[in-house]
Amino acid sequence: MSEPVSGRRKAAASITGEPAGNAHEFSVSELSFALKRTVEDNFGHVRVRGEITGFRGAHSSGHCYFALKDEGARLEAVIWKGAYSKLRFKPAEGLEVIATGKLTTYPGSSKYQIVIEQLEPAGVGALMALLEERRKMLAAEGLFAAERKKKLPYIPGVIGVITSPTGAVIRDILHRLADRFPRHVIVWPVRVQGETAAAEVAAAIAGFNRLAPGGKIPRPDLLIVARGGGSIEDLWGFNEEIVVRAAAASDIPLIAAVGHETDITLIDYAADKRAPTPTAAAEMAVPVRADCLATVLDFERRMLRAETRLVENARGQIKGLARGLPRLADLIALPRQRFDHTAERLTLALRRAAEVKRARLLRVEGKLSPRVIRFKLDDGKKRVGQLELRARAGEKRHLADLARRLEATGKLLQSYSYQGVLDRGFAVVRGADGKPVRASAGRKTGEALEIEFARDDRLGVVVSGADAPRPASRKKEPNGGSQGSLL
């Protein structure tokens, strides 16, 4: 890009009367960037007061684009992503602010704009308007509803305090707790003023709620968010959405003690209890120990007096009722007389029963005799002997019948035995393994065989001529010659 200084000189010359044909010709980019440098050089750092208009929240890139206006003009504005995240005060539509930054131009659309680095409200009225708008928005979500608020524990075992560890607030709270009812206190140190105050307070509330019961660090039964007094700007961190939502979401009951009695912040609406001062928050957190002891002693005395009166009243009622009852001797006189009469009759009845039993025994005694018993024993023995004889006779008959059946079965078995066949003149040929030989096929010359005859008569033979062809039939010799070889 060419140096715009020479261009300025030539343009000035043309204005003073030089012929137009000698004027320098600028490109659009040259002229736009020359104007950009001129504006930045002359307005490098400015403070502008105006009303925000056209604000629709941060762009997807993280940058913010809107405009500042007054009754006569409009100035485009931009806040880069890095600067927007560091802003303590966030822009909102219709809010009057004082913006600090540098003036520049945007050549792409031939307009000038301010790049804002710092932003602050233009007076308390603007802050109050923003505060009221934010309060209405959060109230519409139900974060301030009374039914969401939790009851504070009467005597908490552990109290969590979220405040600055170096200020007078924590000392006032600890001193007041020690005077009233000493408790275990856990302090979560945070900044209570500045750009990071809101994030630290919200993180502390969430951190206390994440502690597990019975863990290494005890979980508080009550939380106190405290800060001393200050201006609305000093207390603004407790009006941030992140703090209000963290207070409303706390499962642990929470007391908000921010500022003095006249200071109101949004955390006061979301907390379960608002204390006008940090010292008052300590008084709300615990009762007075001496008062508790006095109350317990008073209850004890009242209870003893009530018990004494109850016993006395009961005794008086019993005495009054006793006067209407008959005497004890009169009550038991008649039952005692009946008892004596019954006891006398019982004695006589026992004696009479014993006499009756004795008479019956004497009558039966005459009928008892050893001879009758002996006769019954002898008769029983005879009957047993007869039964034994019958049993022996039956046993002999049964055994004889079994013997006959066994003999018949033996004869039948003998008739089926191969030995009966041997007795009729036949023989059995057995091989070397003792099994019968049923055919000559497969027998080899020289093989040893055994021939069994009747009456266990046995003869060993050797096979000879086993391969010779066997005659188709055998004719009986007329002279009754020997049978010859079996094979």
What pLDDT, on the 0 to 100 scale, is given for residue 479?
46
What pLDDT, on the 0 to 100 scale, is given for residue 22?
67
What pLDDT, on the 0 to 100 scale, is given for residue 480?
46
The two beta strands, 254-258 and 428-430, are unpaired
What pLDDT, on the 0 to 100 scale, is given for residue 341?
86
Per-residue pLDDT 10s for the chain (487 aa) are 334 444 444 444 444 444 455 677 778 888 888 888 887 777 778 889 888 888 877 777 888 999 998 888 889 999 998 888 888 777 877 778 889 998 888 877 778 888 998 888 776 566 777 788 889 999 999 999 999 999 999 999 999 999 999 889 999 999 999 999 999 999 999 999 888 899 999 999 999 999 999 889 999 999 999 998 887 778 888 999 999 999 999 999 999 999 888 788 999 999 999 999 999 999 999 999 998 999 999 999 999 999 999 999 999 898 888 877 777 777 788 888 888 888 888 888 998 999 898 888 888 776 777 777 788 888 888 889 888 888 888 888 889 899 999 988 888 887 777 777 777 778 888 888 878 888 878 788 888 888 888 877 888 888 886 554 454 444 444 444 444 444 4
Q: What is the per-residue DSSP string for 96-146?
A: EEEEEEEEEEETTTTEEEEEEEEEEESSHHHHHHHHHHHHHHHHHTTTT-G
The CA distances from residue 208 to 35, 151, 186, 213, 223, in Å, are 56, 18, 10, 11, 8
The answer to whether the 24-122 and 131-145+154-285 domains have the same CATH topology is no
Convert the pLDDT of each residue in 143-168 to its tens digit.
Answer: 999 999 999 999 999 999 999 998 89
Residues 6+ apart with CB under 8 A from 183: 155, 156, 157, 158, 159, 177, 285, 286
Convert the pLDDT of each residue in 71-126 to its tens digit.
Answer: 888 899 999 988 888 887 778 777 788 899 988 888 777 788 889 988 887 765 66
Task: Indicate the domain borders of the chain.
Answer: 24-122, 131-145+154-285, 288-321, 408-473
Domain 131-145+154-285 belongs to what architecture?
A: 3-Layer(aba) Sandwich (3.40)
CB neighbour burial string for 97-125, b if at least 16 within 10 angstroms, e if fewer: bbbebebbbeeeeeeebbebbbbbbeeee
What pLDDT, on the 0 to 100 scale, is given for residue 366?
67
Convert the pLDDT of each residue in 265-318 to its tens digit.
Answer: 999 999 999 999 999 999 999 999 998 999 999 999 999 999 999 999 999 898
3-state secondary structure of 362: helix
CATH code assigned to 24-122? 2.40.50.140
What pLDDT, on the 0 to 100 scale, is given for residue 54?
85
